[in-house]
Amino acid sequence: MAPMTENPNLAAANRATRTVDAPTIALIGLNGFGRQHLLNIHRLVKLGKARLVAGVSSNDPGADIRGEGVPVYATLGEMAAAGIRPSIIIASTPINTHHDLALQALDLGADLYLEKPPTATLEQYEDLLQAARQAGRLVQVGFQAVGSKALGEVASWFAEAESSPIGALRAVGASGTWVRTRGYYDRAPWAGHRVLDGVQIADGVTTNPLAHAVMSALHIAGAKASGDVQRIEAELHHAHDIEADDTSVIRLRTTAGIPVTCALTLCSTEQRDPWITIHGTEGKAVLYYTRDRLEITPNPDLGGQPSTIEFGRVDLLENLVDVQRGDAEALLCPLEATGAFMRVLETVRTSPEPQAIKPRFVDVVGEGPEAHPVIPQIENLVDRAVAAQSGFSSLGAPWASEPDHSGFLQVPDPATGTGQPVARLRTGHDISPTNSPRPFLDQLRTLGGVRVSDQQPLDHTWHLGVGVALQDVNGNNFWGGRTYTRDHGRYIWRDDHGVIHTRQEVLSADGSRLEADLEWIGRDGQVLLHEQRTVKATGFTRGSGHEQGWILDFTFTLSAPGNTVELGSPGTNGRDKGGYGGFFWRLPQLDGARILSAEAEGEEATHGLVSDWLAISARFQSDSAALDQLGQAHGPATLVFLSRDNDPWFVRCAGYPGIGSSLAWERPVTVRPGEPVSRNVKVLLSDGVLDKSRIEQLAAHYGK
């Protein structure tokens, strides 16, 4: 992953024209960001490394800004007609002008410094790339973050895996939570447009304000050339009254198999320094690229200690000057190294129009030009999207599109004949591969509207609502995340994740019963198991208090279509009391939780217990509760889990909240052809906190 050099033929041509004289520079665009270029040029002039010989602008900022004796021309053509032929031309102009100006600069025989993004379309980029190669000229693109020496340090880790403090590269994420005001978009006619008067602009969060975040993530992931990207998905939104996107997620996979997730917004509560998260198999690192600060967190299980390193940065214009003078061998951000970014830009540009976020989901802060939209909880969503390699819709953002689902489970009302939705039937198609995609129930709620499930939470992004998952099926991980192995005696990242697909699914006319035929497909593409799943929802009224609620009746049967299959867990592989797997319910955050069974009370006492019933009462209050599309409330509720399968209960509350019925607690379970394994769990969902005597009454009646 060393810095990409320019085309060999191009490099050879430039070596032949290198000179010890200070390169001459012309700057196109003397205002706006051009002022920053002027300051940098003046710095190089003082160092004796450059001479500013001309400016090109329709608005001359004056000698105090550009410098005495620097002529200003309206166009490059006028400059050339005056006999000025600089060795370097800088184009600091709107995106839509880059392509034509770059071609003119190449025709003048100059090397080029081109502001990011290099062009407005992928077609323009490929045309410019070909022209630069034919001209034998250098083209540096102004992604200044690529000049960070931190990137070289990170590249060295993965070039020699033994030296990496975080193991092998596993994934890369870019996070950006910025604030942009109305005044920002009023500053120029092209600001916030995708197309203006038929001209491609592509001025969105991913392609302009936070383009450095995208480019840095791609660079670290090894995606530089256009062919380094295998596939890209874009989810684009805007809360500003603009045409382009200001809140988006880009998900891509490199040809080397590295996932890259960019979650970016200009509608945050407050502006934070953007950062790149580098996920390794044995830890992670966070690069704050605007500060060139790298925070390294190795795996503590291996004795790693966190550390922070501050790096310097190489100025990209100075790097171009040094290459031209023969003082440096290669450009740090040559045009060739921006092809992957241009693939992202092209995906954004050609995607359907960004989805407008409805005003009811947006708070407007400030007045006049300083007013700016704030999307509540957007920081949490950005964090979750990068951690789960997921999109805003999959996470359940209320202003995003519906996540991939096949319908809703409903509790029928005998009096009216209508049904009340109590769960969404997710397909799992939008789940990251390392989270073991599988069908699951999402956004479960009581009849009173209290939400009692969570999915893709920050602490365990592979926890998916309510469903069936196992960490060891003939060595394949259908649970998600890391795998616990007996050989290592700990959790490790392995390329062993399976996927569960729905072959056929039938939902009853009233929505109360789901019949599904599923197949469990291993890492090698072989079908290991068939699953028959039946999920039923019925209402109940019971007891002297006439509690109203509903019952989730969940049955699954696993059969082996070919060879014998062994079902295991971390517990069967040596982890003490870690035998989770089978039916699992991820709960949202809880307040005042009480966990009890007929024989014991409390998390520690009930964990691993075999009992006909287990109950949890609490006030349910997830951070992600406001992300629900169906409407919901925080509040008290009681869940009573019933099972006659004699499997131990897996109970978690303090670290994270979740309840499971463990299929393979300490010993593997074998599924032989013709000998299926079947399990049933019923869950009673009631609003309010029920006392033990009332829970026992319900368990006795419905646990038969």
Question: In terms of Cα–Cα distance, which of 97, 98, 92 is closest to 118?
Answer: 98
Provide the pLDDT for residue 548. 83
At CA 487, angle to CA 300 and CA 286, rounded to 5?
30
Q: Can you point out the beta strands (E) in 307-448?
A: 307-310, 355-356, 363-365, 372-374, 405-412, 419-426, 440-442
Cis-peptide into 117, omega within 30 deg: yes
The answer for residues whose C-beta is within 8 angstroms of residue 532's C-beta and 6 or more apart is 515, 516, 517, 518, 556, 557, 559
Confidence check: pLDDT of 25 > 90:
yes
Which tokens hold the place of 40?
């940098």
Confidence check: pLDDT of 9 > 70:
no
Provide the pLDDT for residue 261. 98
Provide the pLDDT for residue 11. 43
Confidence check: pLDDT of 533 > 50:
yes
End-to-end alpha-carbon separation of the chain, Å?
62
Phi-psi region of 493 (alpha: psi -120 to 50; beta: other; left: phi over 0): beta
Provide the pLDDT for residue 418. 83
How many CA atoms lie within 13 Å of 163's alpha carbon, on the beta-carbon side? Answer: 8
Confidence check: pLDDT of 5 > 70:
no
The answer for residues whose C-beta is within 8 angstroms of residue 364's C-beta and 6 or more apart is 371, 372, 373, 374
Confidence check: pLDDT of 8 > 50:
no
| Integer Cα distance of 542 and 549 in angstroms | 9
Which tokens hold the place of 382?
């950005």
Write out pLDDT tens, residues 465-518: 999 999 999 999 999 999 999 999 999 999 999 999 999 999 999 999 999 999
All structural domains of the chain, each given as residue ranges with its CATH number in brackets, are: 8-145 (3.40.50.720), 147-312+340-385 (3.30.360.10), 420-702 (2.70.98)
Environment class of 180 (CB within 10 Å of its CB; exposed 0-12, middle 13-18, buried 19+):
buried
| Integer Cα distance of 549 and 555 in angstroms | 20
The 8-class DSSP code of residue 690 comes to: P
Relative to beta strand 582-586, strand 658-662 is antiparallel
For the chain, the residue count is 704
| Integer Cα distance of 640 and 657 in angstroms | 15
How far are the Cα atoms of 65, 82, 315, 463, 694 from residue 71, in angstroms, in the given order?
A: 12, 10, 25, 64, 89
Residue type, 692: K
Q: What is the pTM of this model?
A: 0.93
Phi then psi dihedrals of residue 255, to 5 deg: -65, -20
